C-alpha cells in the first residue's frame, strides 16, 4: 500500500467537495438571520421570534422600542395593542422575548411577549462567580508554573 495516504487524501477531498455542493443546494432551506427576515418578509403569516433590550416605552401609542440582541443590533418598534401586562409592567433595560408578525412598515406586531427583569437576566454572571476558585484549584492541581521557561507545565501524573 504505497499510495495509501494519497488515496485517503483524494477521498477526503472528494468528500469535502461533495459536502460543499450539498450545502449550496440546501442554502435556501436554512434558517435566515433576523435582518433578512425583516427586509424580505412581506407576508403576515410567518411568525418572527425576536429577543432584545427595551430602549423606549411609549404608552400613548402602545409601542416598545427594543435593541435587537442579534446582529445588526438595530432598533425595532413593536406594537403591543392587544397585550395586557398583569404581573409586571415593562421598564427600560428589561429583556424582551416576543413572538409576532412583521407589518408593511417593517415593524413588529406582538402576539406573545415575555419580559425578564434586567437584574434577573444578569444574575447568571453572579451565580457563576463561585465556580472561578474551583476552576483555578483544578488548574493548579494539574499544572505548575516553570519560572525558567515562563510557561505552565503538567505536574507528575501521581500529583
Task: With cut-offs at 50, 70 and 90, classify the pLDDT of residue 44.
Answer: very low
Q: How far apart are CA 53 and CA 95, in angstroms?
A: 5
**Cα distance between the two ends of the chain:** 44
Supply the mean pLDDT for the chain: 80
| pTM of the predicted protein model | 0.51
CA distance readout (Å), 4 to 7, 11, 13, 145: 5, 11, 14, 43
Pick 157 or 110 by higher pLDDT: 110
Q: How far apart are CA 58 and CA 97, in angstroms?
A: 18
All domains of the chain in start order, with CATH: 34-122 (2.40.50.140), 130-154 (no CATH)
Is the dihedral angle over the CA atoms 94, 99, 100, 106 positive or is it negative? positive
- If DSSP codes are grouped into helix, strand and coil, which group holds residue 49? strand
Q: How far apart are CA 134 and CA 87, in angstroms?
A: 38
Q: How far apart are CA 106 and CA 99, in angstroms?
A: 15
pLDDT in tens, 55-88: 888 877 778 888 888 777 777 777 776 666 666 6
What pLDDT is attached to residue 132? 93
Q: Which helix (H) or strand (E) holds 152?
A: strand 151-154
Instruction: Report the range of poorest mean pLDDT among 25-39, 63-77, 103-117.
Output: 25-39
Give the contacts of 54 (CB within 8 A, at least 6 positions apart).
64, 65, 66, 90, 91, 92, 93, 94, 95, 96
Q: Which helix (H) or strand (E) holds 8?
A: helix 4-25
Amino acid at each position: 500500500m504505497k499510495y495509501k495516504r494519497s488515496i485517503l487524501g483524494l477521498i477526503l477531498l472528494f468528500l469535502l467537495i461533495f459536502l460543499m455542493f450539498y450545502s449550496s443546494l440546501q442554502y435556501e432551506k436554512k434558517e435566515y438571520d433576523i435582518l433578512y427576515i425583516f427586509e424580505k418578509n412581506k407576508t403576515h403569516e410567518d411568525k418572527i421570534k425576536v429577543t432584545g433590550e427595551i430602549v423606549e416605552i411609549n404608552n400613548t401609542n402602545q409601542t416598545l422600542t427594543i435593541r435587537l440582541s442579534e446582529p445588526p443590533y438595530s432598533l425595532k418598534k413593536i406594537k403591543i395593542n392587544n397585550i395586557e401586562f398583569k404581573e409586571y409592567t415593562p421598564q427600560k433595560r428589561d429583556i424582551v422575548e416576543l413572538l409576532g408578525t412583521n407589518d408593511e412598515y417593517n415593524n413588529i406586531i406582538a402576539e406573545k411577549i415575555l419580559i425578564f427583569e434586567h437584574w434577573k437576566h444578569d444574575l447568571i454572571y453572579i451565580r457563576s462567580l463561585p465556580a472561578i476558585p474551583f476552576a483555578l484549584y483544578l488548574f493548579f492541581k494539574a499544572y505548575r508554573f516553570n519560572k525558567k521557561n515562563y510557561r505552565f507545565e503538567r505536574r507528575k501524573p501521581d500529583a
